[in-house]
Amino acid sequence: MRILHTMLRVGNLDRSIDFYTGILGMQLLRRKDYPGGRFTLAFVGYGDEVDHTVIELTHNWGTDSYDLGNGYGHIALAVDDVAAACESIRRQGGNIVREAGPMKHGSTVIAFVEDPDGYKIELIEGR
């Protein structure tokens, strides 16, 4: 067994694809409309779905936003240099919600960014 994907419901699919591909550097792997169900699925990631875990962006037509609730945590991405990644994300218009620095009660350098729908993404240095 292996993890295939994490699904996020998004209010504006094109805006979300732009964020994940343009700002976080993922690739749009596939996108398909399902007119009968009034939704579109787009899969983004850093490599082919055969070998990598990816993110499924689900857009339900006619729904512009979602209540994120209090059960969702975050997606984690490994980066070589968290401070440099934050600066790059900021320059491209991304929203840094926790600047680079050591995690509480530890020494691992982390930061958090939000996607256009408010989902948190943790950047972890050196993994």
6-42 residue pLDDT tens = 999 999 999 999 999 999 999 999 999 999 999 999 9
Position 103 scores a pLDDT of 93
C-alpha triplet 70, 120, 88: angle, nearest 5°: 165
Domain boundary among 35, 60, 85: 60
Is 118 inside a domain boundary?
yes
- CA distances from residue 87 to 3, 81, 115 in whole angstroms, order as listed: 30, 10, 15
Q: Is the domain of 79 the same as that of 110? A: yes
Q: Total structural domains in the chain?
A: 2
- CA distances from residue 33 to 6, 30, 42 in whole angstroms, order as listed: 19, 10, 9
- CA distances from residue 120 to 2, 75, 101, 123 in whole angstroms, order as listed: 23, 7, 16, 10
Is 65 inside a domain boundary?
no
Q: How far apart are CA 25 and CA 20, in angstroms?
A: 6
Q: Which residues contact 7 (CB under 8 A, 6 or more apart)?
A: 55, 56, 57, 58
Is 67 inside a domain boundary?
no
Give tens-digit pLDDT for 67-108. Answer: 988 778 999 999 999 999 999 999 999 999 999 999 988 999
Is 119 inside a domain boundary?
yes
Position 91 scores a pLDDT of 97
pTM: 0.88
Is 66 inside a domain boundary?
no
Active site residues: 122
The domain containing residue 47 runs over which residues? 5-60
Q: Is the domain of 85 the same as that of 119? A: yes
Nearest to 55 by CA among 72, 65, 40, 41: 41
Q: Is the domain of 83 the same as that of 51? A: no
Is 68 inside a domain boundary?
no
Band (pLDDT 50/70/90 cuts) for residue 114 is very high
Q: What is the CATH number of the domain that holds 114?
A: 3.10.180.10
Is 43 inside a domain boundary?
yes
Q: Which residues contact 63 (CB under 8 A, 6 or more apart)?
A: 9, 11
